[in-house]
Structure 1
Amino acid sequence: MNGHTVETAQKLLLIASTGGHLAELIRLEPLLRAHPSSLWVTFKTPQSETLLRGRNVLYLPYIKPRAVLTVIQAMLIFAARLGRERFDGAVSTGSGIALACLPVARVRGIPTRYIESMGRTHGPSMTGRLLHAIGGTAMYTQSPRWARGRWQPHPSALTSYRAVPTPRRPESPRLFVTLGTIGGYRFDALVDAVLATGLADSRTVWQLGTTTRDDLPGSVHTMMNSAEFEAAASAADVVISHAGVGTLLTLLDLGLHPLMVGRRAHRGEHVDDHQADMEHLLDGLSVGRYLEVEQLTADVVRSAADWRVTHGEAVDVAADQRQIDLSDREIDLSDPTKDSVA
């Protein structure tokens, strides 16, 4: 129970889209005093089925970015579930699923909190801006650089990771290429860039999502469950990934120092360019490297094999970043004023 007794825990709604949003909420759960009867609300994917096995889960229809009609459908399903149970609070790390659920919970008198993704280093997402405008929800950011007004700072798990040099640069590194699971957005530019390095071979493992290809050497997968993903990543000398927060957290937990390549909206690879924010996220910690597609070269790939990552206790960061460590504080969702940090 993360150091809390069942008697002091809260029955929460833990709401997150799959991918990075779910990965972050799972890591933030120890701060929330969640009772074992808490309900996770997400989409049904190999990731969620693996990570939430044995927990109470409500699966909602997959919500593509800014898909208004699907948001409404999910709201109706969620509202029906709230009619059958009582909850002490609702917490979400986004994205669109937060718009479907937090306003409904608030109308039912359930205290709500939104924690913006750690990948949003320059300002809130569209989901965050809309929830801020709607009001009634306690708003948090994991990027202290823009914490102001109603946006209060929240600790980021990334401060506990450290890069360690392990010089072993192979001439022909074994590659694992992962494009994530987001529906409706291809990432052919990254696949083509990997092929252009000349390093992809029969040992390469590809996880492509919706980027279907029939011209690739090695082993090709549309989706992988967590065990398959971790096995492929751990066996690789270098992991090349789309710049998704969930993928980054998983790779860091495995001790890997990944190359994270940003999707760009002008190529139709995502709804906006928020993945580029990962450059700032990684620069200060050096636990991975952010790249644009054009920067991916054979030398860059080989050099990535010289690093690994360790995971320890969270440490202080520069005072001018206003990072506030709440890891030893209990958070009571019944009183939003207790969430505020001066």
Structure 2
Amino acid sequence: MRGAGGATLLIASTGGHLEQLVRLHRRLQPAPKSVEWVTFDDPQSRSLLAGEVVHYVPYVAPRSYSSVVRNIPAAERILRHGRFARIVTTGSAITLSFLPIARARGVECHFIESAARADGPSLTASLVAALPGMRMYSQYPAWADEKWQYRGSVFDSYRPLDIEPPPGGLARRVVVTFGTMRTYGFRRAAEALAKTLPSVLAPGATVLWQVGVTDVSGLGLEAKTSIPASELKAAIAESDLVVAHAGVGSALTSLDLGKAPVLLVRRRAHNEMVDDHQTMIAGELDRRGLGVSAEPGELTSEHLSRALAISVEREPVGKPFLLRS
């Protein structure tokens, strides 16, 4: 194997894929001797990976295979010197530029499927699984098998706690985030919240809106396209209520800071996402009591009030994630 005893290269698209890998890489066994990262350049990655060795590559939109091809020279350059003993990735399409080259060079490669995939692998993971010698992992035991090993989930470190809601059941500080996606808006969620959120707001309440590329014109919202991760985390930590799109990254950020978010599901039929995998995330966290799942068109004040009465506790150290030899 090339790079024996060398560094581990960690690869993830920004958003939920990166949020998962940031958490999971600390649980990897055997533990990496040193790590370098490959991801996209945006405020989230700059904040999460501050002080790390990071190789930024051009953005790859979901299922944009022309972008995958354009990133192959960057992958060749990064992998050329053979200093990496292994690659660990949580996807998504960013990995298609790297893994075929890495396997051809004899680099050990591990693909951890996203916690968003509760009932089977994504298209990217299915493509990657066909490469000889790939080590593949599911975060759900229900569909794990000899090929797809189950070694735990990024959600295993959290448990819900019942708490007293704020006085009068009204929130004083609220954070709304639709994530960092660059290609899909979420107008339905903005419209639903503009209508429903005031019913649970205390007088003088503040609402921080991060809406990405969502068009919020005409809704009377003071919204931001993007907020640095450190600023967003500080706001969530101080909030009474978090409402998010049902992306893994937004959910994990909320859980880390003790909040059970209301999770609004993006739908492919409304051109809000490439597929309907967010239903799986929202459903799994609702089942675990770690979030409240809702369709934007069905959002009520009851959904918001439920979240106001839940806190989340996190284990300081998660269970080891054992990589296959």
1:37-48 alignment to 2 at 5 Å? 38-48=35-45
Contact 1:204–1:217 (Cα < 8 Å) also in 2: no
Match of 1:239 among 224, 239, 242: 242
TM-aligned CA deviation for residue 202 of structure 1? 6.6
Task: State the partner residue of 2:18.
Answer: 22
**3-state DSSP class of the match of 1:88?**
strand
Q: Is the 8 A contact 1:159 1:285 kept in 2?
A: no
Q: Is 1:285–2:288 an aligned residue pair?
A: yes
Paired AA for residue 233 in structure 1:
I
Choose from 54, 59, 63 the match for 2:60. Answer: 63
Secondary structure, counterpart of 1:78 in structure 2: helix
Q: Which amino acid aligns with 2:299?
A: L
Moved over 3 A (4+): 169-172, 214-219
Alpha-carbon distance between aligned partners in 2 of 1:215 and 1:97, rounded to the nearest angstrom: 36
Q: How many residues align?
A: 314
Partner of 2:124: 127
User: Aligned-pair distance for 1:235?
Assistant: 2.9
Q: Which amino acid aligns with 2:90?
A: T
Report the equivalent of 1:184.
Answer: 183
- Report the CA distance between 1:281 and its aligned residue: 1.7
Letter in 2 for 1:27: R
Q: For the structure 1 residues 83 and 206, does the alpha-carbon distance in structure 2 shift closer, same or farther, using more than 3 Å as the test?
A: same
Deviation at 1:299, TM superposition (A): 2.5
Correspondence 1:76 to 2:73? yes
Distance 2:298 2:6 in 1: 47
1:144-186, Cα deviation, whole Å (9 max, x unpaired): 1100131111211312211111122545423211000111101
Match of residue 109 from structure 1: 106
1:279 deviates by 3.5
Instruction: Tell me, yes or no, if the aligned pair for 2:191 and 2:219 is still in contact at 8 Å.
Output: no
Preserved CA contact (<8 Å) 2:186 2:272: yes
**Could you state the TM-score of these two structures normalised by the residue count of structure 2?**
0.90
Distance 1:220 1:202 in 2: 15
State the Cα deviation string for residues 68-121 of structure 1 (Å, max 9, x = none): 111011121111121134210111100001111111111121111110001110
Q: Tell whether 2:170 aligns with 1:167.
A: no
The answer to whether the aligner puts 1:257 opposite 2:260 as a matched pair is: yes
The aligned residue for residue 223 of structure 1 is 226
- Work out which of the residue numbers 80, 86, 103 in structure 2 matches 1:89: 86
Question: Of Structure 1 and Structure 2, which has the larger fraction of its residues in strand?
Answer: 2
TM-score of the pair, normalised by structure 1 = 0.86
User: Could you tell me the percent identity over the aligned residues?
Assistant: 37
Distance 1:217 1:10, change over 3 A: farther
Residue equivalent to 1:34? 32
Q: Which residue of 1 aligns with 2:148?
A: 151
1:3 equivalent in structure 2: none
Q: Deviations over 1:320-342 (max 9, x none)?
A: xxxxx645x5x4xxxx5x3xxxx
Question: How far 1:291 moved relative to its partner?
Answer: 1.4
Deviation, structure 1 residue 22: 0.8
Amino acid at match of 2:314: H
Structure 1 residues without counterparts, runs of 5 or longer: 1-7, 316-324
Which of 49, 54, 79 is 1:52 aligned to? 49
What code does the residue aligned with 1:139 have?
A: M
> Helix, strand or coil for the counterpart of 2:84?
coil
Contact 2:174–2:207 (CA under 8 A) maintained in structure 1: yes
Deviation of the 1:9 alpha carbon: 6.7
Change over 3 Å in CA distance of 1:231–1:216 after alignment to 2: farther
**Inter-partner Cα distance in structure 1 for 2:283 and 2:132:** 29
Pair 216,9 (structure 1): closer, same or farther in 2 beyond 3 Å = farther
Letter in 2 for 1:311: R
What amino acid is the match of 1:109? G
Further displaced range: 197-206 or 219-228: 197-206
Report the counterpart of residue 306 of structure 1 in structure 2.
309
Matched, 1:13 2:9: yes
Q: Deviations over 1:40-92 (max 9, x none)?
A: 00001111111111111100100000001110111211111211342101111
Of 288-297 and 186-195, the range deviating more from structure 2: 288-297
Q: Is the 8 A contact 1:202 1:218 kept in 2?
A: no
Question: Which SS does the other structure have where 1:273 is aligned?
Answer: coil
Tell me the SS of whatever aligns to 1:240.
strand
Match of 2:270 among 246, 263, 267: 267
1:151 partner amino acid? W
| Matched position secondary structure for 1:260 | strand
Deviation (angstroms), 1:282: 1.3
* Structure 2 runs not aligned, ≥5 long: none
The root-mean-square deviation of aligned C-alpha atoms, in Å, is: 2.1
